[in-house]
Every structure is written in structure tokens, then in C-alpha cells.
Structure 1
Amino acid sequence: MFDLLGLSTQHEMIYRAMLQRPDLNIAGLAEHLAVSGDQVREALDVLADLALIRLDPQGEHARVVRPQAGLMALLAKVEADVAVRQRQVEATRAAIAAIATAHDDRHQAAEGRILEGVDSVRERLAELAHTTRTECLSFTTGGAQTSDTMEAERPLNQVALQRGIRIRNVYQDSFRNDPATLAHARWMASLGGQSRTTPTLPMRLVIVDRETALVPIDPDNSGQGALELHSPGVIAGLVALFEQVWRAATPFGEQTAPDTHGLTPQERELLLLLSSGHTDESAARKLAISLRSVQRMMTSLTERLGAASRFQAGVHAGRRGWV
């Protein structure tokens, strides 16, 4: 318990014995604790150096300093050392930030830069995890997250959350069907992260401290990399988009509730996609579900509308105010 103060387990044991049995000399302590006399003498030297006891001139007896004075004095010294160390850490953090800023100023325009490939994006996210001050907002598109992606994100999210950073993330509803992604979201929630889901998302997105945003170079192929943006006007627009989606999304842990027509958010979105000209295949990509799931959902909707064909289903859906 007192290793922080410089005491080993054995030192602490001998110190506690001296508090309980101040009448024992070195030999008595050794016999009482079933240790050697040399071990007791070594412990007494350490305790004396820490000003927890005072040895007599012969070194066979010792008087214990009142714990309230001796131990609290040691703790105060440790606290002072920790405060100095913390100031050194903060100074180092500021120096690193200054170096990084100077480097970025030389290699990127004020409005942003290109991060080519997945590895570059992950490296930048790792940097941001350590330098974020207040919050991180993100959209995670697609259904099941790959194990590589989750393993790469896990330590970064943990570092940020343990530093008190507020993390809010919106997934697509389809992620609820994947046990591994679901477990990852639960783990995030256990550390204080907040997650919600919605049927579709416009693109992948990360916003840090409302000052930096990462968006995909190609929304249909996130593997190409990302654009890092810093323009206040662009960031403000992306934050507004995030907040709008966040308000309409379903909080993690709650079931997606059907609307007044009995439609789930995913079913309503499918009808909107198909009515705007999307094929089953493109609707499946937008919803991050399989083509078979789209077809099964559409069959259910057609039956509920009492329609004989998909065209008729669209007409009936429009008349009922479903779309």
C-alpha cells in the first residue's frame, strides 16, 4: 500500500509491527515477524532515512514517529513531486504541439491537407486522440466494422475517453445486427462514449474540437484516404450536419421505434430511396445491408400495403403518406 512512499511490503510490515509493539527490539521484531535480524536492520535503516522512526545510538531500539506526522510528510513530498512532474508533462505537451504546428504550417495550406490511404488517416487519428481538448464527433458508415478497424480505434478511443474527452458517434442501424460492432459500442459506452444509430449517413466524418474535420476523398471508397479541413465556415457546416443527424438518431441501447404508420426508420428510408430512383442494389449500399435484406423488407412492405406489385406499392405508400 505504501510503495508510493518508498516502502516495500516487508518494510511496511515491520513498520506496522513497531507501531503495535513499541516494546520490541530488533531481535524481538525478528522473532515476532519470523524474519531475520538483518532484514529488520535493513528495514530500520530505510524507515530512519524516511524519518518514520528514530534509532537509538546503539541501533538495537527505535522510536516510531507519530504516523500522522511521518507518513503525511512523506505523502506531501510525493504530491509535490507529482505536481512538478505534471507541470513537466504539460510543458512537454505544449512543446510537442508547437513542433507539430510548425511542421504542419510548412506542409499544408491553411484550409487543410490530403491524407492519402488508410494508414495516413489512422496515423492522424492517433495524433488527434492525444491532442483533442474537449470533444470528438463522428459518423461511422457501413454495417459491421472490420476487426482491424475496431482494434485500431480501441486504444485511441480509450486514451481520449480517459482524458475526459466527450465522444459522440453515429452508426448506421445495420450495425445493430453485428455482434462484434455492437460489443465495441457497448465498450465505448462503458467508458462514457455516446452512440446513436440512423438508417443512412452521408459519409464518414470525424470532427475534433470543432476546429478540425476529416472527410473521405471519395465517399464511396474510404480506402483512398481523407481530406483534413480547418476552414471555420466548412467546419461550422459539418457540425450543423452532425447535430441534425444526432438529434434524429436513436440512442444506443434503445430499440428503433416505428412511426405512426408502423414503419421503422430503416423501412421509411428504403421507401424514400426507392421512390427517388435508387435500385435495390444501390439502396442496399446506402443502408449498409444485403440485397436480400432489401428485397425481404420490400416484400413485407408490399404485403402490408395490400399491393400486387412494387409500382402499386409505391402508389399506395404515397397515398397513405408513407413517403
Structure 2
Amino acid sequence: MLEVLGLTAAAVAVYQAMLDHPGYSLDEIAVHCALTPVQAHGHLDELSRLTLVQASAERPGQMRAVSPEIGLADLLAGQEAELAARQAQLAASRAAVSRMVAERAEHGTNHGERLQGMDAIHSRLERMGRSATTEVLSSQPGSQRPEDLLASRPADTEALGRGIKMRTLYQDATRNQPHITAYAQWLLGHGSGVRTAPTIPQRMVVVDRAQALVPIDPADTRKGALHVTEPGILAALLDFFEHSWNTAVPLGATQPEDPQTSLTATERRILLLLGAGLTDDAVGQRLGISSRTIGRHMSSIMERLGAGSRFEAGIKAAQKGWL
């Protein structure tokens, strides 16, 4: 599992062998790992670049493995920094799109129309569905009210009946909400694609990659929506959607626990986000679950790791290759 930290499987085997047999020569390591000496040397170079091995003070010309408590913790810290940077970049991009939407909603342009009230929004969604010729993409973070789903069904039924391809993204937390999973199963039964992810872009509906409906204020979708046809905004929304879709889990495929770690995708995401310095409340907002649920997940993870604190759990998770 250390591959996610930038290691190949063979390099992991070499590193583990050096930890288990500190007195082994390079030739012995190669035999132990079923590698040629040249291959073992190449993987040793890989470990050295990641500062997981250092020159031995006792055996000139030989290398020693750096303890996981130090080497893997440093690697994990680097991964967490990269994750934080990506999250910051995504947040900045989302904020930029939100500002563009808000500006066009406020000033009005030929590429955006402001809609007030849920009746106006539902009416526009119906019109967009009827005008679709190829596909409808939608992203639905957080929860949806049963009445909103009921209002969406006629337009979805009409579009599906004309052979329109539909792809819908939900957050993982909605797998525990019966009215949403029932609607998602209905979509699947009509040939649509449905996936879930721990975090997804802001709420949106994009039709034929040519028009979109997005909330004016992502924090309060009931303030109204903006019908967008501007290419710049559409491109940004589509990038958000496709990135999330490619990393999401198909609803029909379920979300199995990792057989080696027993971690779910949500638990792994919680570990990474907490390790990046986010609070329980912030992580809960990202994943669409409560901070109390975050605490329960962490208690379960700490118990499996035999850790007495979250800090210790992070170190042990890195040592075991859970991250």
C-alpha cells in the first residue's frame, strides 16, 4: 500500500527486507526479494531518493533502512502538503467560478440569467431537460429533499425516454439516505451512470456541455440559481465534474473496504484531511457528514491500529502503509 506514497511494489519489498534483515548485503536482499542484483540496486536508488535508506556508519559501502517512524512520516507529511495544496487550488477555482456566477447574476450578461425561487428553478430544469440532445451531467453535494427529487423525475423521465445519456454524482454520505439511494437506483435502472465520492464539486446541472444551472450562493441554494451559457464558466464546471467522476465509485459497484487495511474510501479520506490539519467540523463539511460521525470513524481506526491518540494513529497508519 506504500505505492500511494510514491514507491513501487518492488521497492517496498526491498525496504521491508532491509528492515527485517538489517545485516543482509545487497546480493542477499536481491535473493530474498527474487530480484537480480541490478534490479535491487535500482530499487535501492529509488528508496534513497525518497530518503528511506541512508549510508551505513557500521558497514562502509552499504546502506541501512531508515526507521518507518521517521522515513514514512516524512513521506506522509509531503503527501499531506501536496493534498493541502491541491485542495487549496480547487477551493480557489471553485471560489473564482462562484464569483463569476455571482457577478453575472448581479449585473446581468448575455450569458447568464438569474432565477429566483424554486418554482422558477424547477421550470428551467424541465426546459433544459427537454432541450437536451446528447447528455445531462449533474453534481449533487450534500442532501436533497424528497420533494426536490420528486420534482426532478418528470424531466429526467422525459430525457431518458429520448435516449439522453445521464451521469449523476452524489456524496458518499447519501448512500445512507434511503430516498436518495432509491432515486439513484431508479436512474441506474434506466441506464444512467451514478457514482459517489467523499467530496464533489458544487451543485450543478450541465446540458449538452452548452448550458448549466448553478446556485448563486453554493452555501444556500435556495437564494436562487443562474442559468449559464458562458464558455469560460462551463469549461471550469466541466473540469470539476470530470475530475470528480473519474475518481468516484459507481453506486452499483458498492464501496468495499480495502482487504489489507479494512479502510473505506471515506475513512482514508478522513485520515488524509485530518493529517493535513483540518478540524473535525471542516472535514465533516467536506465529506457531507457530521463531526460526530468523524469522531466515530477515528475511534474505530484508532482501535484497529491500537493507537492511544490521533497523532499515534497517523504514524501507525503510515507505518502500515494505510496512506
1:9-56 residue CA offsets vs partner (Å, 9 max, x unmatched): xxxxxxxxxxxxxxxxxxxxxxxxxxxxxxxxxxxxxxxxxxxxxxxx
1:39-96 residue CA offsets vs partner (Å, 9 max, x unmatched): xxxxxxxxxxxxxxxxxxxxxxxxxxxxxxxxxxxxxxxxxxxxxxxxxxxxxxxxxx
Partner Cα separation in structure 2 for residue 243 and residue 142 of structure 1: 18
Give 5+ residue unaligned stretches, structure 2: 1-106
1:211 aligned to 2:210?
Answer: yes
Partner Cα separation in structure 2 for residue 218 and residue 246 of structure 1: 23
In the alignment, what sits opposite 2:191?
192
Partner Cα separation in structure 2 for residue 135 and residue 258 of structure 1: 32
In the alignment, what sits opposite 1:258?
257
Aligned residue pairs total 216
Could you tell me which amino acid in structure 1 is paired with residue 314 of structure 2? Answer: G
* Structure-2 change in CA distance of 1:321 and 1:219 (3 Å): farther
1:196-229 residue CA offsets vs partner (Å, 9 max, x unmatched): 1111113111111001122222222212122322
In the alignment, what sits opposite 1:283?
283
CA RMSD of aligned residues (A): 2.1
Partner Cα separation in structure 1 for residue 113 and residue 214 of structure 2: 11
Query: Whose relative contact order is higher, 1 or 2, with alpha carbons under 8 Å and at least 6 apart?
Result: 2
Q: After TM superposition, give the deviation of residue 118 of structure 1 in Å.
A: 2.9
In the alignment, what sits opposite 2:293?
293
In the alignment, what sits opposite 1:154?
153
SS at match of 1:124: helix
Partner Cα separation in structure 1 for residue 234 and residue 157 of structure 2: 25
In the alignment, what sits opposite 2:129?
129
Could you tell me which amino acid in structure 2 is paired with residue 280 of structure 1? Answer: D
Could you tell me which amino acid in structure 2 is paired with residue 293 of structure 1? Answer: T
Deviates more, 1:249-258 or 1:269-278: 269-278
Partner Cα separation in structure 1 for residue 119 and residue 272 of structure 2: 36
Partner Cα separation in structure 2 for residue 233 and residue 320 of structure 1: 44
TM-score of the superposition, structure 1-length normalised?
A: 0.62
1:244-272 residue CA offsets vs partner (Å, 9 max, x unmatched): 21121111211213346442111112122
Partner Cα separation in structure 2 for residue 298 and residue 274 of structure 1: 10
Q: After TM superposition, give the deviation of residue 108 of structure 1 in Å.
A: 5.3
In the alignment, what sits opposite 1:139?
139
SS at match of 2:253: coil
1:312 aligned to 2:304?
Answer: no
In the alignment, what sits opposite 2:180?
181
Q: After TM superposition, give the deviation of residue 289 of structure 1 in Å.
A: 2.2
Contact 2:255–2:265 under 8 Å retained in 1: yes
Could you tell me which amino acid in structure 2 is paired with residue 292 of structure 1? Answer: R
Partner Cα separation in structure 1 for residue 216 and residue 317 of structure 2: 37
SS at match of 1:253: helix
Larger radius of gyration: 1
SS at match of 1:133: coil
The percentage of aligned residue pairs carrying the same residue is 44
Partner Cα separation in structure 2 for residue 198 and residue 256 of structure 1: 10
Give 5+ residue unaligned stretches, structure 1: 1-106
Partner Cα separation in structure 1 for residue 173 and residue 317 of structure 2: 23
TM-score of the superposition, structure 2-length normalised?
A: 0.62
Partner Cα separation in structure 1 for residue 321 and residue 227 of structure 2: 41
Partner Cα separation in structure 2 for residue 288 and residue 232 of structure 1: 30
In the alignment, what sits opposite 2:242?
243
Partner Cα separation in structure 1 for residue 319 and residue 204 of structure 2: 36
Could you tell me which amino acid in structure 1 is paired with residue 254 of structure 2? Answer: Q
Q: After TM superposition, give the deviation of residue 319 of structure 1 in Å.
A: 4.7
